[in-house]
Structure 1
Amino acid sequence: MSSPMTARDMKDYSAQYSALPFEPVQAKYRRALVLREVARANPRTLLEIGCGDLPLFIDLGEDVDVTVIEPADEFFTHACKLAEGRGRVNIVQSFVEDYVCQQADYDMIVLSCVLHEVSDPAGVLASVRHLCNPDTLLHVNVPNARSLHRLLAVSMGLISDTGVQSEMQLTMQQRGMIYDMDSLQDELKAGGFTIAEHGSIFIKPFTHMQMQRLMDDGFMTPDMLDGFDKLVKLLPELGSEIWVNARRG
């Protein structure tokens, strides 16, 4: 693999990801968003770029042709096991920059929680664009630089501005920028995409570690967590993660 992302230690990345506090909860709300968008788009063919430990196809009907691109050994092997017996699922171990497809015929491409992690997001988007036809819907989601917990950290003097990388992001070898909605849309537009829709999910008032502690102490209940997710309807700019649906321009 010749991708610039290969400088990352993918084995360490997958191990660190599995150990993150609160991430399973955050991932639950992120996944619910992605599955809602997939259901709305109703694709016949879908490409998921970076599946982590829970690929989308396990929650999709078997009438959808799914391709998964996953570079990390652990996640790739796990996805292959989950795909056993499913004839319309293809798992490829690769970075998207190295992925070769004979014909771009995907109705939908999902780039979930990936773009902020890479050192060359423009290069990733260029590779994704080559896989799009004019009707392909691209779904992208990333952490929000203007999340409530980041704004609180600035107000407390813990970080100088919302674009400063956290200890967790450094541990996860995340080398890309921290996007807000404007910069995410600008990135996509510069990459040759037009914006169709955008939004956010889950108001997170504190860091992952603090949220996990509140859950462990029994203070943060499932109803409260659901309430924080619904709160984005009133405060969409403060969601912990932002998303954009786009098409090739």
Structure 2
Amino acid sequence: MPDAIATASKLIGAEEYAQKYLIDMAFERHLITARQDNCLEFLGQLAPTSVVEVGCGPDLLINRFDLAGSSIRSWLVIEPSFYADLIEEKRASIDKLELERGYLEERVEAARTRMPEGFDAVLLSGLLHETTNPQTMLSAANALLRRGGSLLVSVPNAMSFHRLLGVEMGLMQSPTQLSERNIELGQPNVFHRETLEKMVIDAGFGELAFSGYMFKPFSNGQMREVLDIVGNNTVEGLIRLGKRFPENAAEIAIFARKL
């Protein structure tokens, strides 16, 4: 069997990444909420019967989704780290919830046996920037979808105001430069709208719809200090402001369909 990190084109292993990601989650949890809101909006518009969620993270999306009251018959999570244990615990009470332990690129064939006709939707939320070969990840997502199935992909935005400010302050040479946190977490890519849309199209998707969420003028650590002063009730306004100005939001998303 090929080495898992090489197969999935990761700079660091899943367990190490998961442990490092949990350090200093103060503002990151607000980003997770905004990211999940984007996923919930996607699922609400689509009303799929089958979903693949790639990478569940520490705060489970399934906890915020009314699975019993939805049209979904199968919700498959593909997760390589110990976060999968959280899904395993949920499966005891949710028969529609399924789990594949491993990287997406490794588990395509196994996932396809669960839904030979293809899934209705795949969620690649906050993942594509974490692989050295994002095109491989998008191709794997494409392989899991039925024709006409839908993809959600979201990533941190190179053109976020906090990165633009960093350039103007002389702290970064360009908005696509890797930050210290990117390097620490083994995140080799920073995308903007044009690069993300091109990769999604090249992977066999069309009917793209672009969106953004969360206004973030400073780094995560600085934003934690800002919220200590102005209060967490500011966060909802920051999320809405990011939606109003998606080109410069902290994170951007693409809704697309498999051609």
TM range (shorter): over 0.9
Q: Which runs of 5+ in 2 are unaligned?
A: none
Residue number in structure 1 paired with 2:225: 213
Residue number in structure 2 paired with 1:84: 92
> 1:189: Cα distance to partner?
0.8
Overall identity of the aligned pairs, in % = 25
Q: Among residues 59, 80, 94, which one is paired with 2:102 in the alignment?
A: 94
Q: Among residues 175, 181, 191, which one is paired with 1:162 in the alignment?
A: 175
Residue number in structure 2 paired with 1:23: 28
Q: Is the 8 A contact 2:155 2:191 kept in 1?
A: yes
Matches within 5 A, 1:226-241: 226-241=236-251
Paired AA for residue 78 in structure 1:
L
Paired AA for residue 150 in structure 1:
R
Q: Among residues 33, 37, 42, which one is paired with 2:38 in the alignment?
A: 33
Paired AA for residue 61 in structure 1:
L
Q: Taking structure 2 as the reference length, what is the TM-score of the superposition? A: 0.90
Aligned in 2, Cα 1:173/1:11: closer, same or farther, shift over 3 Å?
A: same
Find the residue that maps to 1:219 and give its secondary structure. helix
Residue number in structure 2 paired with 1:67: 76
Q: Is the 8 A contact 1:142 1:242 kept in 2?
A: yes
Paired AA for residue 109 in structure 1:
V
Q: Is the 8 A contact 2:149 2:257 kept in 1?
A: yes
Distance in 1, matches of 2:48 and 2:249, equals: 27
Find the residue that maps to 2:9 and give its secondary structure. helix
Q: Is the 8 A contact 2:11 2:131 kept in 1?
A: no
Paired AA for residue 237 in structure 1:
E
Find the residue that maps to 1:51 and give its secondary structure. coil
CA offset digits 1:153-198 (Å, max 9, x no partner): 00000000001010111111112x2111111000111111113311
Q: Taking structure 1 as the reference length, what is the TM-score of the superposition? A: 0.93
Q: Is the 8 A contact 1:195 1:244 kept in 2?
A: no
Residue number in structure 2 paired with 1:106: 119
Q: Is the 8 A contact 2:105 2:136 kept in 1?
A: yes
Find the residue that maps to 1:133 and give its secondary structure. strand
May I ask how many residue pairs the two structures share in their alignment? 245
Distance in 1, matches of 2:124 and 2:223, equals: 26
Q: Is the 8 A contact 1:194 1:246 kept in 2?
A: yes
Q: Which runs of 5+ in 1 are unaligned?
A: none
Is 1:178 aligned to residue 184 of structure 2?
no
Find the residue that maps to 1:19 and give its secondary structure. coil
RMSD over aligned Cα, in angstroms?
Answer: 1.5
Q: Is the 8 A contact 1:48 1:69 kept in 2?
A: yes
CA offset digits 1:60-80 (Å, max 9, x no partner): 3235210000011x1011211
Residue number in structure 1 paired with 2:9: 5
Distance in 2, matches of 1:6 and 1:236, equals: 28
Paired AA for residue 241 in structure 2:
L
Residue number in structure 2 paired with 1:53: 58
Distance in 2, matches of 1:174 and 1:232, equals: 23
Q: Among residues 43, 47, 61, which one is paired with 2:48 in the alignment?
A: 43
